[in-house]
Amino acid sequence: MTRNLRYISLTALTALLAACSTTRTVPEGDRLYTGHEIKWTEKKKPKDWSTLKAGMDERVRPSPNRKFLGMPFKLWLYNLGNEPKGKGLNHLLRNKWGEAPVLLSQLKPNRTERILNSYLEDNGYFQSELESEIKNKGSKKASIVFTAEPNHRYTIHRVRFDTDTGVLSKQIMLNAKHTLLKPNDNYSLDLIKAERERIHAHLKEEGFYYFTPDYMLIQVDSTLKGQVDLYIKLKNTAPATALRQYWMRSVEVYPNYDLTRDSALKTIPGQQYQNFTIVDPDSLFKPIVFDRSVFLQKDSLYRLSSHNITLQRLVNLGTFKFVRGNFRPLRDSSLLAARFYLTPYPKRSLQFEVSGTSKSTGFVGSQVKISARNRNFQRKANVLEINLGGGFETQVGGRTTNISTNAYSFNAEVALTIPRFYTPVIRFNPRTPYVPRTRFSIGYELLNRPSLYNLNAFTLQYGYIWKQTKFLDHALFPVAITYALPGNVSAEFQQQMDQDPALKQSVSKQFILGSNYTLTFNNQAPFRYHSFFASFNVDVAGNVAGLLAQSEADGTKTIANQAFSQYLRGSVDGRHYWKLSDNLRWVNRLYMGYGYAYGKNLQDPNTPVTLPFIKQFFSGGSNSIRAFRARTLGPGSYHEDPDNTTNLLLANAAGDIKLEFNSELRFKPQKLIELAAFVDAGNIWLGKSDSTKKVFAFDRFYKEIAVGTGIGLRIDASILLVRFDISFPLRKPWLPEGERWVFNQISLGDKAWRKENLILNIAIGYPF
């Protein structure tokens, strides 16, 4: 029987390998095209060889079959199937999952040679020669080798601006010192095109509304030995409108534009405001909305930057669905009339959300959230948001206990966002395309655990949010106040808190008078092979208040007889996104955080002061080290007793220092499905010791790093991404030294091991 199974297995494996042959579906007389190689005949390659080669590689067609880790998986899938006769498995393998073989017959060597030769000429190799040779690999595969003989590369000898005495020519000459074309630089067609665009952008900034790059002519004289002279001039065919400088005669804004009443709106007289006119017969918006968004002014010179900033500001207000600008010249004059047509979103919206949760600790729950939004509050394009939410959580399995495991929550928030810097003293309006915002918010949250405690939290924030560039964001909140007030603490829970300082701090009165600042850099884009995200946060509390506060006899400081927190806290979150192929990305993240509290302990002046619990760092969970449950890892080598039911329910592990590294490989075989493999490592530590836990130490912290790994499935439903990550620990820092790596304990077939180690995280969105 065993021998028969071996024969069957061997036969099946042989059949599979035969099906996976990359040349199984290559037609007779043809070959599988495996790619190309580009060779350079000169021993000394140019300094920009990598750029030149990359440009040549992009121009070779066709591309060979795509590979993952060096293996053509899609071609293998294609070869596993047969010609489909319907919508079955063969259809999926051939038309959906697989990729047909790229054949040598699809290659056109002579045409590709001409394209590559033109590319070399565009980069200064005017007398280059290029040859190609087919390289057969066995009986069914072939590649091609292109050999370039570059000869001499031409450089720029002289750049001359041949212009007349007109206004436009004077502007070109005034800006000629900024030319991109420099003597002794390599000749480059792309650089010549960029120079035309530079001149065009400068002229548009000086009022030449109808000028385009096509009206510029750059002639090349290559008769010099190894060098060229460049002559920059205007075409004789340029129309008079392109040579004329334009001024703004009028600027009109239509903030409630509708195609159905287009003609009627244009006959309605508008309201003159500042240096532009607002046509708003329904009085939907106050003029102040456009005061800091319209940068084109009546009787001013037309400038492209003012044009673009105006359009982008109006779009970024977030109030208008459509924004369109229209410019027309007045007959036989150098004047322009501008009209901006704006179609607003519906003023009010209401959103209702219901969600359910299920935790690996045996807790289930549900939450309801209602959000109301007014996009034009007070007719100033202010955004007013009112959020109400509530939910419950209960334990349906696991340990039984006399302590109630139910929890109920309620939260409410009112937030007002103003589309400008709202300052009581000065008027500040930076000349950027991005709308600065001022945000005010006030919130309340109630967490009620019957028979344990309830916690009331009040928040008040005031701050500014703005973009400096396309990739750089700032958020400054000079006022961030939090007041947490516990109540109805049971005697049993009080006894538990007396035994655990961290637990006592998590449910204690906390008054935070703080400020925080966040700087974010993010250049992620689908076309980038390397992109980065970095966030720097600084959070301080009690500094200014400490100067004004009254000192008590025990050393604590109070304001209106209320003690407050004093601390400094900072964090850095850096991420690198590497696009390995169209369907494969490798993402790495490094997170570091540190907090320092000073002053006197708010609950017990005789014990070291620590960060407020809501400001401490924690580890574990769906966006952290996924092989450990949220708030159950650390600090350091400390591990909560699994029989301590109360602490298990509260999951309160927190620290003053955090270090974490995550690495994740993401593969997207289909539009809706993504697979992932990941490794997470890190921990949290205390900055000051307590009775049970050790503090951070440079000679020991690396020994207390926790490590976990796992795989994930993500379902991309366009509007949201649902994530399922299953993971298990590789290193447990609470075990004795020398036993912390637990590779040898992994046993996926053991039910007891799975129950203790496997963690399923269900979340919305990527972890980072």
Q: Are 534 and 574 in contact (CB under 8 A)?
A: yes
- Return the C-alpha torsion angle 632, 638, 642, 647, nearest 10: -60
Q: Are 248 and 298 in contact (CB under 8 A)?
A: yes
Query: Looking at the 3D structure of the chain, how many domains does it have?
Result: 3
pLDDT above 70 coverage of the chain, percent: 88
pLDDT surpassing 70 at residue 133 = yes
pLDDT surpassing 90 at residue 314 = yes
pLDDT surpassing 50 at residue 286 = yes
**Residue at a domain's end among 243, 271, 290:** 243
Tokens of 309: 């900033």
Tokens of 451: 């028979």
Length of the chain: 768
Q: Are 292 and 314 in contact (CB under 8 A)?
A: no
* pLDDT of res. 261: 73
**Phi-psi region for residue 560, left (φ > 0), alpha (ψ -120 to 50) or beta?**
left
Calculate the alpha carbon distances from 360 to 160, 200, 626, 639, 648 in Å: 74, 62, 12, 18, 12
706 burial (CB, 10 Å; 0-12 / 13-18 / 19+) is buried
Neighbours of 111 (CB within 10 A): 10
More confident residue, 606 or 245: 245
Least confident of 83-92, 243-252, 259-268: 259-268
Q: What does the alpha-carbon distance between residue 473 and residue 466 come to, in Å, rounded to a whole number?
A: 6
Mean pLDDT of 408-413: 91
Mean pLDDT of 171-195: 92
pLDDT digit string (tens) for 637-655? 888 765 554 444 455 678 8
If asked whether residues 20 and 145 sit together in one domain, one would say yes
H-type helices in 532-613, by residue range? 543-548
* pLDDT of res. 11: 43
Assigned domain for 161 exists: yes
The identity of residue 540, as a single letter, is V
Could you tell me the sign of the dihedral formed by the alpha carbons of 23, 25, 30, 36, in that order? negative
Assigned domain for 141 exists: yes
More confident residue, 71 or 561: 71
Q: Are 709 and 730 in contact (CB under 8 A)?
A: yes
If asked whether residues 119 and 166 sit together in one domain, one would say no
Q: What does the alpha-carbon distance between residue 334 and residue 764 come to, in Å, rounded to a whole number?
A: 56
H-type helices in 597-726, by residue range? 645-650
Q: Which helix (H) or strand (E) is 518 found in, with range? A: strand 510-522
If asked whether residues 108 and 190 sit together in one domain, one would say no
* pLDDT of res. 121: 92
pLDDT digit string (tens) for 315-358? 999 999 999 999 999 988 899 999 999 999 999 999 887 765 55
Assigned domain for 274 exists: yes
* Angle, vertex CA 23, rays to CA 17 and CA 25, nearest 5: 100
pLDDT class for 760, splitting at 50, 70, 90? confident
* pLDDT of res. 292: 87
Could you tell me the sign of the dihedral formed by the alpha carbons of 482, 483, 488, 492, in that order? positive
Assigned domain for 612 exists: no
pTM of model > 0.85: no
Integer-rounded Cα radius of gyration of the chain: 34
Q: In the chain, how many H helices and how many E strands?
A: 15, 30
pLDDT surpassing 90 at residue 251 = yes
If asked whether residues 134 and 26 sit together in one domain, one would say yes
Domain extent for 276: 247-344
If asked whether residues 236 and 264 sit together in one domain, one would say no
Neighbours of 107 (CB within 10 A): 20
If asked whether residues 186 and 219 sit together in one domain, one would say yes
**Residue at a domain's end among 90, 123, 149:** 149
Neighbours of 15 (CB within 10 A): 10
If asked whether residues 36 and 130 sit together in one domain, one would say yes
More confident residue, 266 or 738: 738
* pLDDT of res. 677: 96
pLDDT digit string (tens) for 351-398? 887 765 555 455 566 778 899 999 999 999 999 999 999 988 775 554
**Residue at a domain's end among 149, 169, 189:** 149
Specify the residue for token string 């994930």.
712
DSSP characters for 428-478? ---SSSSPPEEEEEEEEEEEEETTTEEEEEEEEEEEEEEESSSSEEEEEEE
pLDDT surpassing 80 at residue 718 = no
Q: What does the alpha-carbon distance between residue 132 and residue 109 come to, in Å, rounded to a whole number?
A: 7
* pLDDT of res. 559: 72
DSSP-derived letter for residue 272 is: E
If asked whether residues 190 and 223 sit together in one domain, one would say yes
Least confident of 70-79, 140-149, 442-451, 493-502: 493-502
pLDDT class for 83, splitting at 50, 70, 90? confident
pLDDT digit string (tens) for 516-552? 999 999 999 888 889 999 999 999 988 766 666 666 6
Q: Are 596 and 620 in contact (CB under 8 A)?
A: no
Mean pLDDT of 296-302: 90
pLDDT surpassing 70 at residue 279 = yes
If asked whether residues 60 and 134 sit together in one domain, one would say yes
Assigned domain for 736 exists: no
Q: Are 216 and 172 in contact (CB under 8 A)?
A: no
Q: Are 413 and 386 in contact (CB under 8 A)?
A: yes
Mean pLDDT of 652-659: 86
Assigned domain for 317 exists: yes
DSSP characters for 284-305? -S-THHHHTT----TTSB--HH
* pLDDT of res. 622: 85
pLDDT surpassing 60 at residue 10 = no
Q: What does the alpha-carbon distance between residue 261 and residue 281 come to, in Å, rounded to a whole number?
A: 12
Neighbours of 525 (CB within 10 A): 10
Mean pLDDT of the chain: 85
* Angle, vertex CA 445, rays to CA 438 and CA 409, nearest 5: 140
Q: Which helix (H) or strand (E) is 678 found in, with range? A: strand 673-685
**Phi-psi region for residue 44, left (φ > 0), alpha (ψ -120 to 50) or beta?**
beta
* pLDDT of res. 412: 96
If asked whether residues 130 and 163 sit together in one domain, one would say no
If asked whether residues 113 and 49 sit together in one domain, one would say yes
* pLDDT of res. 720: 77
Least confident of 39-43, 97-101, 605-609, 657-661: 605-609
If asked whether residues 137 and 25 sit together in one domain, one would say yes
Mean pLDDT of 478-492: 86
* pLDDT of res. 5: 45
pLDDT surpassing 60 at residue 1 = no
* pLDDT of res. 396: 57
Assigned domain for 606 exists: no
Q: What does the alpha-carbon distance between residue 79 and residue 573 come to, in Å, rounded to a whole number?
A: 45
* Range among 61-70, 145-154, 503-512, 659-668 with highest mean pLDDT value: 659-668
pLDDT digit string (tens) for 15-42? 444 445 788 888 888 999 999 999 988 8
Tokens of 206: 């000086």
| 133: CATH | 3.10.20.310
Mean pLDDT of 1-22: 48
Within 8 A by CB and 6+ apart from 735, the residues are 742
* pLDDT of res. 9: 47
Assigned domain for 216 exists: yes
Residue 583 has φ and ψ, to the nearest 5°, of: -115, 5
pLDDT surpassing 70 at residue 162 = yes
pLDDT class for 463, splitting at 50, 70, 90? very high
* pLDDT of res. 611: 83
